[in-house]
Amino acid sequence: MDTQPELDFLPVDEDTKSPAAGSVPWLEIGCAFLTAILFDVAIYHGGGSLGWAVFFLGATLLYFVGTLRKRDLINGWLIGAMLVVIFLRLIWLYQPGAICCGLILLPALAMCRNGLEPTWWDYAAYGLQSLLSSVFVIRDTGISLQERRGIKISYIGVLGIALPVGALLIFGTIFVLANPDLATSFSTVFNNIGTWLTDLLTTTGFGFDDFLILVIIAWLTLGQLVPAMKQNLQELLGFTEGEAKASEEPEPFALYSPIRNTLIAVVVLFFVYLTYEFCTIPFREIPPGAYWKYAHQG
């Protein structure tokens, strides 16, 4: 008797797919930046009751647009209607309580649009995860772009460059501050660069405070529109992973190359610094009675 192969017709949940699988959340990223621009223009530069009203209405629309591809709950439409009521209320009268309610309802709207019930514990967890969720969005977007272009970048290789550069910057700064002449020279250079940037931003009308606001608001909004939290806390706490099988052969230490490169960079930096010290000590004016360690004080 012939047996037919079993076919799996279970539907694939699109929400479980990672952005790294090939889709880049350009819509969510664009809505996050537009929300940040709206906050900067309507609230930071505008202010007042009308500014808050315009922000809540625009942010509500952007949250709906940024979550079009998500599985929505009916609560999302109810919260959206509440935000519209707050918009109408703020047009009529400035009320701090209405502003606080609007700021509380925006993350709840993002939760419902992503298929999560806005309970108190889930709301708190959702707010905390929005601080870090943008990191995963940027990482997955980078992986997707690499796969499309056929480029493979190892994060260990990136650490192999980033850690030595970071060590050079940290120890180099310490060595510069320990040498008064170098500290004065570097201070002059950085002051000139800062003055040039300040003049440039003043000319364009875009200040550092605007840049900081755009980054913070866009970061938080993106973390809400593309959350790393896909399930409620009860579902997450009830999930248990199976025991991992121990590998027979030990794997090599993944961070060996970054740590080795960092150690080499620090040794070379110490060599350069000590060479500079010994070459410049004979040309320094040391007060009478001072010993050799005088050059390293302070």
What is the 3 state secondary structure string of 116-166?
A: CCCCHHHHHHHHHHCCCHHHHHHHHHHHHHHHHHCCCCCHHHHHHHHHHHH
What was the pLDDT predicted at 236? 66
* Lowest model confidence (mean pLDDT) among 49-53, 60-64, 134-138, 243-247: 243-247
Given a cut of 50, is residue 203 above it in pLDDT?
A: yes
- Tally of domains within the chain: 1
Each residue of 110-139: pLDDT tens digit? 988 888 888 888 888 888 888 888 888 887
Q: Determine the 3-state secondary structure of 286 from DSSP.
A: coil
State both tokens at 24: 């880049």
What's the pLDDT band for 171 if we cut at 50, 70, 90?
A: confident
Given a cut of 80, is residue 31 above it in pLDDT?
A: yes
Residue 139 lies in a domain: yes
DSSP string, 76-101: HHHHHHHHHHHHHHHHH---HHHHHH
C-alpha distances (whole Å) from 251 to each of 43, 112, 189, 248, 257 are: 53, 43, 47, 9, 14
The set of residues, in sequence order, having a beta carbon less than 8 Å from that of 149 and lying 6+ positions away, is none
Tell me phi and psi for residue 103, to 5 degrees: -65, -30
State both tokens at 162: 């980033």
Given a cut of 80, is residue 190 above it in pLDDT?
A: yes
What's the pLDDT band for 285 if we cut at 50, 70, 90?
A: low
State both tokens at 217: 């608001």
C-alpha distances (whole Å) from 112 to each of 37, 67, 72, 185, 204 are: 24, 10, 6, 56, 40
Residue 14 lies in a domain: no
Residue 164 lies in a domain: yes
pTM above 0.75, yes or no: no
- The domain in which residue 163 lies consists of 20-231
Give the long-range contacts of residues 127-135, CB within 8 A, separation 24 or more.
129/223, 129/227, 129/228, 129/229, 130/220, 130/223, 130/224, 130/227, 131/220, 131/223, 132/223, 132/228, 133/222, 133/223, 133/224, 133/226, 133/227, 133/228, 133/229, 134/219, 134/220, 134/222, 134/223, 134/226
| Nearest one of 198, 271, 190, 292 to 182, comparing CA atoms | 190
| Nearest one of 114, 103, 121 to 75, comparing CA atoms | 114
Nearest-Å Rg of the Cα atoms of the chain is 28
State both tokens at 41: 């223009």
Higher pLDDT, 175 or 90: 90
Residue 55 lies in a domain: yes
Each residue of 65-117: pLDDT tens digit? 988 877 667 888 899 999 999 999 998 888 889 999 999 999 999 988 888 88
Task: Report the C-alpha gap between 30 and 225 in whole angstroms.
Answer: 11
Residue 104 lies in a domain: yes
Residue 46 lies in a domain: yes
Residue 281 lies in a domain: no
Each residue of 212-253: pLDDT tens digit? 999 999 999 998 988 888 777 666 666 544 444 444 555 666
Residue 196 lies in a domain: yes
Asked if residue 244 lies in contact with residue 151, where contact means CB atoms within 8 angstroms, the answer is: no
